[in-house]
Amino acid sequence: MLESVTDLAVLREQVAGWKREGLRVGFVPTMGNLHAGHHSLVRLAREHADRVVASVFVNPTQFGPNEDFARYPRTPDADRDGLAAAGADLMWLPSVDTMYPYGAAAAVEVRVPVVTAVLEGAHRPGHFDGVATVVSRLFHQVQPDVAVFGRKDYQQLAVIRRMVRDLAFPVAVLAAPTLREADGLAMSSRNQFLSAQERPVAAGIHQVLQGVRAAIQSGRSRGEVEEEARRRLQASGFQVDYVAVRTPDLLEPDDGVGGARVALVAARLGTTRLIDNLEFDA
């Protein structure tokens, strides 16, 4: 039975009660408009915890001035049904006042340096400050033992991992695999903004990432592979923010040296900005 909670004192009491019983608490933070990808995060949390809290909070501080905060879809009833079916026990629905008692502009901020300076961080200034700030607050509110984040937001996962280690949060961070549509498009709340013409084109991102993997594994130089991938995406109608092959820490790998790699793309199709990535060994 899924309980919806909007009061921080009630949330704390419930979680403290579970902990007194010796139960392990899992947590899945979300911004709502949930799809099968989010439900899989809840199921993974269930495998590692006795009780699962999922939060739904569209966080204003992680949207830039020209980004889609206002049009971000709010679907509370469907979110509730989906979370109940996926096995969550508690839906945490903080108001903006609960999250930012002094207002978002006057909030204490958490800024994670280095890993936020590149890629998404460079293209969306302040985005990861908003993410780290809200996730640190959610961790303080929920006090989970384990928290699940999707690998689709690869850099976000890296930011959270660094924050957890640097600030010694007693939370184990678990990474969940990206769920894809049949044609390879990574599931995302933003996919619904794609027009009928754009939707099949969007799957090209995954194909391009697979091409990048094959080219790097065949020994071609990173710069050349990234440039070719950018051209392929542009030829299909994308405006490309970046195509990059990086180490798992998002550093630039040396050519000719093998190891774990991640290829990352951010590109716009019409008004919809999509991100995706592919992890592999080179």
Is 156 a known ligand-binding residue? yes
Residue 135, interface with ligand PAF (CB under 6 A)?
Answer: yes
Confirm or deny that 206 is annotated as ligand binding: no
Q: Is 127 a catalytic residue?
A: no
Please, what is the minimum distance in Å from the beta carbon of residue 152 to ligand PAF? 9
Nearer to ligand PAF, 14 or 61 (CB): 61
- Cβ neighbors of 197 (< 8 A, separation 6 or more) are none
* Residues 174-213, mask of contacts with ligand PAF (x by CB under 6 A): ----------------------------------------
Nearest to 48 by CA among 149, 172, 150, 179: 172
**What one-letter code names the amino acid at 173?**
V
| Binder of ligand PAF out of 15, 31, 158, 186 (CB under 6 A) | 31
DSSP letters along 33-45, please? ---HHHHHHHHHH
Q: Is 59 in the site for ligand PAF (CB under 6 A)?
A: yes
Is 59 assigned to a binding site?
Answer: no
**Active-site residue identified among 38, 39, 127, 206:** 38
131 binds ligand PAF (CB under 6 A): yes
Region near ligand PAF per CB under 6 A, out of 28-36, 201-209, 214-222, 229-237: 28-36
- Distance between CA atoms of residues 201 and 227, nearest Å: 19
Cα 20 to Cα 110: distance, rounded to the nearest angstrom: 30
CA–CA distances in Å: residue 122 to residues 58, 114, 119, 255:
22, 11, 5, 23
Residue 192 is labelled as binding a ligand: no
Among 153, 226, 241, 276, binds ligand PAF (CB under 6 A): 153
Cβ closer to ligand PAF: 56 or 233? Answer: 56
CB 208 within 8 Å of CB 265: yes
User: If binding is defined by CB under 6 A, does position 30 make contact with ligand PAF?
Assistant: yes
Q: Does 250 bind ligand PAF (CB under 6 A)?
A: no
Cα dihedral sign, 212-215-218-220: negative
Strands 25-30 and 51-56: parallel
Task: Provide the 10 A C-beta neighbour count for residue 25.
Answer: 24
Binding-site annotation, residues for (R)-pantoate: 62, 156
Give the footprint of ligand PAF on this chain (CB under 6 A): 29-31, 59, 62, 131, 134-135, 153, 156
